[in-house]
């Protein structure tokens, strides 16, 4: 998988968040988008995910050097972010089974195995609305990392995680993200210290 950004720019009203961003992301590599709060890290990640429009430039997606049609991009990308909501009326098991009907899990895991890996067996039949913020973050990471997608986008992935949760996050990266394209948006080194390259969003102001 390859994602090519050409002169990409984003503005809110008349203020440019970033401009003239040229970059190529390649599979089997991991990247960190860094910068202070409000610098545009999350906005760039949402643009890459196809969830937010940009004002100038272009983005192209390639799989085995063949350009992916715009309507099929979502099938190749998964994302976890603090601002993305879970279906809180569902139990954890119901939510994971529902998610897997939209995007299959990496082989050979299934919903039951995922619950075990993220250490939430006792909450499997509990509605997500009753989860702590840390438990919800584990679920968000799981649905992104275990999705069978070539690209994994992670926005501030350790938000609300305690020490045990951060260790779990690093284990998920080490065990399930090899051979994929991973992009992390963060200003916290422990969230992206495994990344091969870093993009400082301040360089594109």
Percent above pLDDT 90 for the chain: 93
Which tokens in the block code for residue 197?
């390259």
Rounded to 10°, the helix 163-176/133-145 angle is: 0
Per-residue pLDDT of 130-155, as tens digits, reads 999 999 999 999 999 999 999 999 99
Q: Residue 27 belongs to a domain with what CATH number?
A: 3.40.50.300
Q: What pLDDT does 26 receive?
A: 96
For tokens 């045990």, the residue is 164
CA 112 to chain CA centroid, Å, is 22
Rounded to 10°, the helix 133-145/92-102 angle is: 30
Please determine, for residue 29, whether its predicted confidence score (pLDDT) is greater than 90: yes
Q: What pLDDT does 38 receive?
A: 87
Q: What is the mean pLDDT of the chain?
A: 96
The pTM for the full model equals 0.95
Strands (E), 52-126: 56-63, 66-67, 77-80
Q: What pLDDT does 177 receive?
A: 97
Q: How many domains does the chain have?
A: 1
Per-residue pLDDT of 55-78, as tens digits, reads 999 999 999 889 998 888 999 999
For tokens 């937010």, the residue is 52
Q: What pLDDT does 196 receive?
A: 97
CA–CA distance, 56 with 162 (Å, rounded to integer): 39
Per-residue pLDDT of 162-189, as tens digits, reads 999 999 999 999 999 999 999 999 999 9
Range of the domain at 49: 2-204
Q: What residues have CB less than 8 Å from 5, skipping those under 6 apart?
A: 21, 22, 23, 24, 48, 57, 58, 59
């Amino acid at each position: 998988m390859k994602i090519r950004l050409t002169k990409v720019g984003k503005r809110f009203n008349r203020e440019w968040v970033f401009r003239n961003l040229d970059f190529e992301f390649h599979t089997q590599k991991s990247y960190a988008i860094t910068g202070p709060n409000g610098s545009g890290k999350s906005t760039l990640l949402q643009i890459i995910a196809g969830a937010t429009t940009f004002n100038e430039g272009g983005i192209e997606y390639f799989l085995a050097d063949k350009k992916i049609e715009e309507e099929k991009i979502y099938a190749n990308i998964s994302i976890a972010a603090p601002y993305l909501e879970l279906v809180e009326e569902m139990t954890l098991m119901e939510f994971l089974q529902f998610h897997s009907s939209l995007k299959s899990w990496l082989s050979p895991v299934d919903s039951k195995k995922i619950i075990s890996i993220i250490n939430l067996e006792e909450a499997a039949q509990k509605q997500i609305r009753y989860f702590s913020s840390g438990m919800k973050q584990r679920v968000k990471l799981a649905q992104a990392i275990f999705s069978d997608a070539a690209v994994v986008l992670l926005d501030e992935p350790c938000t609300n995680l305690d020490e045990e949760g951060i260790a779990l996050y690093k284990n998920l990266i080490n065990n399930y993200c090899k051979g994929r394209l991973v992009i992390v948006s963060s200003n916290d080194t422990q969230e992206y210290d495994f990344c091969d390259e870093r993009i400082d969003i301040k360089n594109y102001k």
